[in-house]
Structure formats: structure tokens, C-alpha cells
Amino acid sequence: MSFINELRGECRLCQNNAMLISDHLSLKKFLIYSLQKSNPPTGKHLVKSLSLRLSIKKSLSVSCELKMDQPSNAPLSSPVSVIGSQFMAPNQFDIIVDIITTGNLVVTDIDHKIMLQVKSCDTSFHQQRVLVDADGKPIVLMRGKIMSEHDRWNVFRGNSKSKSDMIFTTQSAHMIQFKTNVQVFLAKKTGKKNVCDFKINGSWTNRNCTIYMGDTSTPIAQMSKMQSSEDVTNKFMVTIYPNVDYAFVVVLIAIVEVMKMNNSVIKEKFAREVIGGLSNIIVGAILL
């Protein structure tokens, strides 16, 4: 019984230190290490008689679970409700995002039934998008100042622009970045001020981005390319994990789409300026 308690203690130590015990061989090595460290004679005899069988692991109910990414179909420990619980489902499902025109998106289920839409409503100084339901009723307003530092966007309930109705803000992690790296900060934060509540990482061009919980590797939604023989250049799939607010996910997608569009415009303008400058230099050299 003393050996059992010692072994349980070692397993708890293993979990606290985040040691990785992922297969039978590692488990055996861990048991041997535990015995050498504590050196109980009865323990050595017991392990030898059992030939380090995995039944020790089962009999002690020691899983020594690793710090691994949450499986894609595993429910989150707590629901993710940012815009509203009415936009959550208990099971994982897919949505289709169709970019109709610049800034206008249509979101459907896999049966092509319209769930949400994003409409452009820019002003002179701000880029704006409004998320509406299938009946056209406004849900949230997305607002980003043109040429703002870090592409900062604010999201408000309904058509409001009041700070009291702000739900969250988004911003690029870096002013210059080649891959998507966007951070999300809730207006009513409960954690550390400088730590994001959600983040979006991946390749937007390849439609391979993931939305994660906070600064962790726990995913809540995953983008992927459409698998179809039809022309789906402006369409892509998004897998929504169980108990995740899909309206929140759609808003993030709409904002990042505008960010990428802005980056493309800036890059094209810069390229034209560079080419124009080179042309002037070449012409000047010829005329000399």
C-alpha cells in the first residue's frame, strides 16, 4: 500500500511539472524512475512480478494526461458566448462563407440556408460593417478607423457607436505581418489587461486560419477551403466547435477580411510607387 501511495504521489508530481507520458514505453520509464528515486524494496518486487504491465496504470486510475491541444470535437469546458447565446449549438457544425462583393458576406449552413449576412456601410473616416440576421435585423456594428495603427476595430451592439455598447475590439498583433495574427480583447475583461481573450492565427490567403481561446492552443473555430468541383474562389468553410457563438466567429472573419483587403491595397500602392520611382531613375539616367 506504501508503494501505491508513493507511485500516486510521483504521478501527481509528473502532472504538476507537465512531464509528457504519452506511450507504454514512457510509462515504464516513469515507473522505473519513480522506483529508483524512492527505492522501496516491495515496490521493485511488485513491478518485477507484474512485468511493468499497463494494468498498473489502469488499477491506479492514473492517466497522467498530457498538456495537449484539445481534440477538435471535444466540447469546451465553458461556453463561448460573446454576442449572444442564441448563436450557440451543442454540436460541432460547418458554415459556408460567401464573399459576394468587397465587404459583403453571406453566411449559410451546408444546405445553403442563409443564417447571417455582413453588409458594408463605410463613412468618410471609418470602414464599417454591420452583421444582420436572416431577416435583415442588425446584430452588431463593426467600426474601424481608416489607416489606424494596428488595424484596430471596435464592435458594438446593434447600430450603436456608444462606448457603453462596445462588446470587444480587435487589432493586428504587429503593424507589419505576413501571416494572420489578430488579437481580440473583450470590453469587459476578467483577465490580465494585456493578454488577449481570443486570437486568430494562420494563412488567410490559403483559407487556413484558426480562432483560439485567449493566448492558448484551444481552438473554437477553424477555416478551410471548399471541397467542390464548382468555382468556389470566394467561398470557404468554417467549422464551429460545440458551444461556440458562431455570430462572434463570423464577425471576426468579416473584420480580418477587411484587414487583408486593406493590406493588399497598401501593397499595390507601394509597388506602384516603387516601380514609378525606378522608371523615373531609368529615364533620368538615359537622358543624361
Q: Is the pLDDT higher at 168 or at 19?
A: 168
Out of 18-32, 48-62, 198-212, the most confident range is 198-212
How much is the pLDDT for 232? 73
Does residue 50 contact residue 56 with C-beta atoms inside 8 Å? yes
Give the alpha-carbon dihedral of 229, 230, 234, 239, to 10 degrees. Answer: -50
Out of 32-41, 85-94, 171-180, the most confident range is 85-94
- The arithmetic mean of pLDDT across residues 82-110, rounded, is 94
How much is the pLDDT for 201? 95
Q: Please state, for a pLDDT cut of 90, what percent of the chain lies above it.
A: 45
Bridge partner residues of 210 (DSSP): 201, 222
Q: Give the gyration radius of the chain's Cα atoms.
A: 26
User: In this model, does residue 127 exceed pLDDT 80?
Assistant: yes
E-strand spans in 69-159?
Answer: 93-101, 104-108, 114-120, 126-133, 138-145, 153-157
Residue 37 C-alpha cell reads as: 528515486
Residue 38 C-alpha cell reads as: 524512492
How much is the pLDDT for 234? 87
Give the alpha-carbon dihedral of 203, 208, 214, 215, to 10 degrees. Answer: -50
How much is the pLDDT for 261? 80
How much is the pLDDT for 97? 96
Average pLDDT, the chain: 75
User: In this model, does residue 137 exceed pLDDT 70?
Assistant: yes
- The arithmetic mean of pLDDT across residues 252-271, rounded, is 71
Does residue 204 contact residue 36 with C-beta atoms inside 8 Å? no
DSSP states of 11-25: HHHHHHTT----SHH
How much is the pLDDT for 42? 47
User: In this model, does residue 207 exceed pLDDT 80?
Assistant: yes
How much is the pLDDT for 150? 64
How much is the pLDDT for 4? 44
162-197, pLDDT tens digit by residue? 999 999 999 987 766 678 899 999 998 777 778 999
